[in-house]
Structure 1
Amino acid sequence: MRRPPRTRLLLWHATAALPVLGAAAAFYGPALARTGGVWPAPLDDVYIHFGFARAAALGHPLSWIPGNGYSSGGTSLIYPLALAPGYLLGFRGPWLGLFAALLACAALLDLCSSLRRLLEPRGPGAATARWVAWVAPLFVVAVPLLDWSWFSGMEVALLGAVLGRALVAVRRAELAPPWRRPAEQRRAGLLAALLVATRPEAVALAAPLAVAVAHAAGSLSAAAALARASLPTALLLAAQAAANRAFTGEWGAAGAVRKLVLSNPYPTPLEKAVEVLKNLTALRVQALEAALGGPSVALILPLLGLVAALDRRTRRLAVPLLIGAYGSLLLVALNTTARFQNLRYAAPALAMLLVAAALGTEALARRGRLAAGVAAALAVAALAAPSAWFARQIDHFARSSANIAGQQVEVARRLGARAPRPRRVLLGDAGAIPYLSGMPAIDGLGLGGYRGMPFARASVHGVPAVVELIERLDAAERPDVFALYPSWWGGLADVFGRRVDAVKIEDNVMCAADEKVIYEADWSALAPPGERREGALDAVDIADLVDERAHGYAFAAPRGGWVVGAVLRDDGGAPRFDAGRLIPEGREQSFAAGVAARGPAVLALRTDGGGPIALGVAVGRPAEDEVRVEVPERPADRWSEIRVPLREVAPGDLVRIRSLQGTFRSFHVWLLRP
């Protein structure tokens, strides 16, 4: 690709900066006015990135908070590393957001520069298409919904820069002479992997880009080209999965465990499919129609992308972009939060669609003066149609930033000012609170990670399962304050917390609730860590996911095994918490016995109050040998225990407990000496 004259290049950069910096000012200016001078962040997730960046700058990469250990909960592997130099340069507290804003503007200008290189016409028709490169920056900032994400402080702008460079690399691999083509193919592969490291759903683009590189191999081996272009992404995904497994026990990242529809054990496959369809419908209507100006004009962008896909010069870029755009939306639809946070998960798809449309505009303009006129008309219509949403998106950005500053930032300030200083705060996926207060924290939703414990998985199963993990911690390690939304944490905040403060905001458009409450913790109802019952050969603490995993525990799912929790009196009259699962009538739970040797035992089952039920118990034998156990009505204010003599239990035997009549509320299981 030839370089244009220096003067024309400088002029192009000057004109490209105008729409990018103008859009940035349009969003940041009103938001700063609303936040009272706190650098605007319309999402609390921005501060989660800041936490990862601070940890990286302090020598703890891939940790949310130094001391918490490895975390797979960051939505971007490389964005915190890009922010870390800002922290080292002195951009601390909310002002790391200013560095993020500068980085976003630089990334968008870099995307514009990549587009210029891709759109510079060559060969026949160059004269009628030269104007397209000059309007390329307008494609970048034309959609207000996308601009909201570009300037949010999230990783989307960095993704745009990497996207542009990856496309340029694919074009270079296509045009390079044979002796240079392998190096260009490897470069394209590395940048494709960098796309996935920036946003995981970009794998929907990385894969077809690798195929495009192989298709353009020419006289070289297509298989070798495909390997060069795809191997970096494959190695990245394999390394990430291996690290997740080694440090967290999960192959997937914490965000996938917590947010993907497929991770929820309770709904049926049909119910999960319905949820995905709801997400797809919302994304299509709100992000691919309304945000682009309405159903009639929203088709112009994919139509221009189709023109690029049909053009011989641009199809190797346009086809992957279209596949990547719609493929990423399919992946995003698996996310339970896809419809929320101003559709930020649709931003990568919109970016890919706009780039494909820019390529289509250039491809059409090369067809002659008449075609160039049609291309100009379509481009004007496509770029002008979304403009009606600018005022609304700018206002939403400002209001969202005011929400985060008024609630999350204020809670951080109040916690930081408490005396004596709290030891550790329990929160739910909140970034500003630990980052700005400088306080150690445990994220109850699991995205922050804490010493390999499965908080993300537990939060999907239910709040009492999160409490079971806290019970595993030493008393001095347990959080002594909470900063939670009460409606999200029923059974924890109201049971183990005493309300001492709260921050309530008006005009809430972004926070999960208008009030965030600060509690002082009281964990006196929890068992001491490592507590062991006298005479126990083995024990399974139901709903403690660590214990369940160690025993190969299985429960009736879907539509069963729901986690519940209670604080009832034990045999000594003291209140004691335990979590358990509901086993519906006709369903069963099972576990592998961890006894040391074969022999007789007594199966002890903890349950709470309720009416008469009947259970069936079998140990390593066919169902017809099942022992039926009649359980009478139990008092509601204390724990009850069901005892079943077992003739013989061997190490690894499968112990099956079936609910024959009524729903069995199973909280704890012991195998005791007879």
Structure 2
Amino acid sequence: MRRPPRTRLLLWHATAALPVLGAAAAFYGPALARTGGVWPAPLDDVYIHFGFARAAALGHPLSWIPGNGYSSGGTSLLYPLALAPGYLLGFRGAWLGLFAALLACAALLDLCSSLRRLLEPRGPGASTARWVAWVAPLFVVAVPLLDWSWFSGMEVALLGAVLGRALVAVRRAELAPPSRRPAEQRRAGLLAALLVATRPEAVALAAPLAVAVAHAAGSLSAAAALARASLPTALLLAAQAAANRAFTGEWGAAGAVRKLVLSNPYPTPLEKAVEVLKNLTALKVQALEAALGGPSIALILPLLGLLAALDRRARRLAVPLLIGAYGSLLLVALNATARYQNLRYAAPALAMLLVAAALGTEALARRGRLAAGAAAALALAALAAPSAWFARQIDHFARASANIAGQHVEVARRLGARARQHRAPRRVLLGDAGAIPYLSGIPAIDGLGLGGYRGMPFARASVHGVPAVVELIERLDAAERPDVFALYPSWWGGLADVFGRRVDAVKIEDNVMCAADEKVIYEADWSALAPPGERREGALDEVDIADLVDERARRYAFSAPRGGWVVGAVLRDDGGAPRFDAGRLIPEGREQSFVTGVAARGPAVLALRTDGGGPIALGVAVGRPAGDEVRVEVPERPADRWSEIRVPLREVAPGELVRIRSLQGTFRSFHVWLLRP
């Protein structure tokens, strides 16, 4: 890959900077006017990255907030590390967004430079295709929907830079002499791993790139080439999974646990498949058709990519790009939030598709003057068609940035002022809101679990239901529990309204991005929670239902799907005091089970806490295989207090399975004890 003359290279860089910097100004200018001078961020997730970057700069990598411990909830492993130098250089508060903007522009220029190197023609047909490298920057900024993500402050622009360098590395591995080829293969493998470290769904591109490197091994071993190109990604994924398991008890990252459709235990497989199909349809219609100019003209980009895949020189890059683009969309469709946040999850696929189309344009232009004219016409049509969306995307970027500044940034400001005027809040409970703790400086617990908190399964609990989140808070020492909430009331029914007292609220108009137009600040009252570590006198064993830590320890299971829904209530205990407990609904004909942790074999009494309701019947069996099932008739219970069902068990041994089946009606199961008889 020979370098062009220095003068031509400088001129190319100057012309490349014009569309990139022009697009940046077009998005940032109106947004700054809307935010009143706060650096624009159209997504609150930007501030989550800023939080991870600040923690890394302060010596706490892989933590959202120093002191919270390891978090697997960062969307990108690499991006916060790229932002951390900005924090150290003095870009603090919202102004870290300016550093992110400079980084985005530099990353896009780097992508343009990589495209130039890939598109510089060589051999026959070079003269008719030389112009393609000069229009490469237009492929980068031509799609307004993608530009929205490029300049959003998220990791997409960095992904673009790593994508370009990975493709160049694969091309170098293909063209290098045998003596240099192993080193270039390793370089390609490392850059493919960095792709995955930047966005996890980029694994759909990293894998076919490794195959392309092996295919280009030539006289060297294809198996060894495949190992060099794929091992870094495999090691990265294995190390990440091992760290997740060691620090959180989950193999998957918190984002996967919280957001993937497959993580929800309640829907049936058919219902999950329907949700995935809805996501795929939305991504196809909105990102791959409408955003590219309409269903017909949107076909030009994949057509150009297909031409690259048929070209002998370009196919080792084009085929992985096409597989990566559509493969990443399939992975993204598993994300329950794929249709929201201006389709930002489709941005990597659009980037891959545009690069493949650029390669196809160059491949066609090499076929002679007539083919070069056709290539120019196709490229012009493909790049011009999306331009009708520029005004709308720029306006949406500005309005979304105003939403984040007007709600999340304002809540952070009010909490900070509250801390200065009164006793500073010790900890705020929020739901996946990055700006609030980052800008206020107040420690936080993310109730949705993406921020991570000392290895506790908040992400999994938030999927099961809000009362399961409260059960985890109940495990914390009283001085560690959040004393302030900043929540959307509609998202947190059973928590905000039960344990909070409304003291302030921030409401925005023209909401296009926030989950609701009003975010409410509450003061917390946890007096209905049990003291941490509370034990019942005479208890041989217990399972606090819907407390996922307790359930995991006792290998608790419930019939799913369509069963085990989490519910919560505050009712009077035997002493007349209000007491919270969470539980699960076990429908008629379904069951729950757990493995005992008693110290020795012997008789016991099974005590089951439930709430009020009409008559029900339960079946209780002990042992593996289950022994005779005992039928228990449960009469109607009062609605204002906790009730207890007692079942004598002749013998229970350590590690035995106890099954509780609902024979009549729905059993509302909140707590299980094995007591001394």
In the superposition, the TM-score normalised over structure 2's length comes to 0.99
How far off is 1:556 after superposition?
1.1
Change (3 A) 1:335 1:51: same
In 2, the alpha carbon distance for the partners of 1:653 and 1:230 equals 45
How far off is 1:621 after superposition?
5.3
In 2, the alpha carbon distance for the partners of 1:481 and 1:417 equals 14
Q: Does 1:429 align with 2:432?
A: yes
Tell me, what secondary structure is at the counterpart of 2:531? coil
How far off is 1:447 after superposition?
0.1
In 2, the alpha carbon distance for the partners of 1:603 and 1:594 equals 13
In 1, the alpha carbon distance for the partners of 2:409 and 2:238 equals 37
In 1, the alpha carbon distance for the partners of 2:69 and 2:557 equals 29
In 2, the alpha carbon distance for the partners of 1:176 and 1:453 equals 49
How far off is 1:203 after superposition?
0.1
How far off is 1:520 after superposition?
0.1
In 2, the alpha carbon distance for the partners of 1:107 and 1:625 equals 68
In 1, the alpha carbon distance for the partners of 2:456 and 2:84 equals 26
**Could you give the per-residue CA deviations for residues 492-546 of structure 1, whole angstroms, max 9, x where no partner exists?**
0000000000000000000000000000000000000000000000000000000
Tell me, what secondary structure is at the counterpart of 1:625? coil
Q: How many residues align?
A: 672
How far off is 1:624 after superposition?
6.5
**Could you give the per-residue CA deviations for residues 553-606 of structure 1, whole angstroms, max 9, x where no partner exists?**
000100000000000000000000000000000000000000000000000000
How far off is 1:622 after superposition?
4.7
In 2, the alpha carbon distance for the partners of 1:332 and 1:665 equals 36
In 2, the alpha carbon distance for the partners of 1:627 and 1:4 equals 85
Q: Is the 8 A contact 2:126 2:366 kept in 1?
A: yes
**Could you give the per-residue CA deviations for residues 369-410 of structure 1, whole angstroms, max 9, x where no partner exists?**
000000000000000000000000000000000000000000
**Could you give the per-residue CA deviations for residues 287-310 of structure 1, whole angstroms, max 9, x where no partner exists?**
000000000100000000000000
In 1, the alpha carbon distance for the partners of 2:596 and 2:181 equals 59
In 1, the alpha carbon distance for the partners of 2:212 and 2:171 equals 10
Tell me, what secondary structure is at the counterpart of 1:487? coil
How far off is 1:623 after superposition?
5.1
In 1, the alpha carbon distance for the partners of 2:154 and 2:624 equals 56
What's the counterpart of residue 545 of structure 2? Answer: 542
Tell me, what secondary structure is at the counterpart of 1:447? coil
What's the counterpart of residue 410 of structure 2? Answer: 410
**Could you give the per-residue CA deviations for residues 395-447 of structure 1, whole angstroms, max 9, x where no partner exists?**
0000000000000000000001114xx11000000000000000100000000
Tell me, what secondary structure is at the counterpart of 1:55? helix
**Could you give the per-residue CA deviations for residues 208-239 of structure 1, whole angstroms, max 9, x where no partner exists?**
00000000000000000000000000000000
In 2, the alpha carbon distance for the partners of 1:571 and 1:44 equals 45
**Could you give the per-residue CA deviations for residues 10-45 of structure 1, whole angstroms, max 9, x where no partner exists?**
000000000000000000000000000000000000
How far off is 1:351 after superposition?
0.0
Tell me, what secondary structure is at the counterpart of 1:624? coil
Q: Is the 8 A contact 2:293 2:386 kept in 1?
A: yes
In 2, the alpha carbon distance for the partners of 1:505 and 1:356 equals 41
Spell out structure 1 runs of 4+ moving beyond 6 A. none
What's the counterpart of residue 496 of structure 1? Answer: 499
Q: Is the 8 A contact 2:259 2:337 kept in 1?
A: yes
Tell me, what secondary structure is at the counterpart of 1:417? helix
Q: Is the 8 A contact 2:79 2:198 kept in 1?
A: yes
Tell me, what secondary structure is at the counterpart of 1:189? helix
How far off is 1:485 after superposition?
0.1
How far off is 1:190 after superposition?
0.1
Tell me, what secondary structure is at the counterpart of 2:627? helix
What's the counterpart of residue 167 of structure 1? Answer: 167
Tell me, what secondary structure is at the counterpart of 1:566? strand
**Could you give the per-residue CA deviations for residues 61-119 of structure 1, whole angstroms, max 9, x where no partner exists?**
00000000000000000100000000000000000000000000000000000000000
What's the counterpart of residue 532 of structure 2? Answer: 529
What's the counterpart of residue 107 of structure 2? Answer: 107
In 1, the alpha carbon distance for the partners of 2:626 and 2:337 equals 42
**Could you give the per-residue CA deviations for residues 152-174 of structure 1, whole angstroms, max 9, x where no partner exists?**
00000000000000000000000
Q: Is the 8 A contact 2:78 2:198 kept in 1?
A: yes
In 1, the alpha carbon distance for the partners of 2:315 and 2:624 equals 62
In 1, the alpha carbon distance for the partners of 2:426 and 2:75 equals 27
What's the counterpart of residue 181 of structure 1? Answer: 181
How far off is 1:272 after superposition?
0.3
Task: Give RMSD over aligned pairs.
Answer: 0.5
Tell me, what secondary structure is at the counterpart of 2:557? coil
**Could you give the per-residue CA deviations for residues 284-337 of structure 1, whole angstroms, max 9, x where no partner exists?**
000000000000100000000000000000000000000000000000000000
**Could you give the per-residue CA deviations for residues 114-172 of structure 1, whole angstroms, max 9, x where no partner exists?**
00000000000000000000000000000000000000000000000000000000000
Q: Is the 8 A contact 2:624 2:656 kept in 1?
A: no
In 1, the alpha carbon distance for the partners of 2:196 and 2:548 equals 30
Query: Unmatched 5+ residue regions in structure 1?
Result: none
What's the counterpart of residue 394 of structure 1? Answer: 394
What's the counterpart of residue 518 of structure 2? Answer: 515
Percent identity between the aligned chains? 97
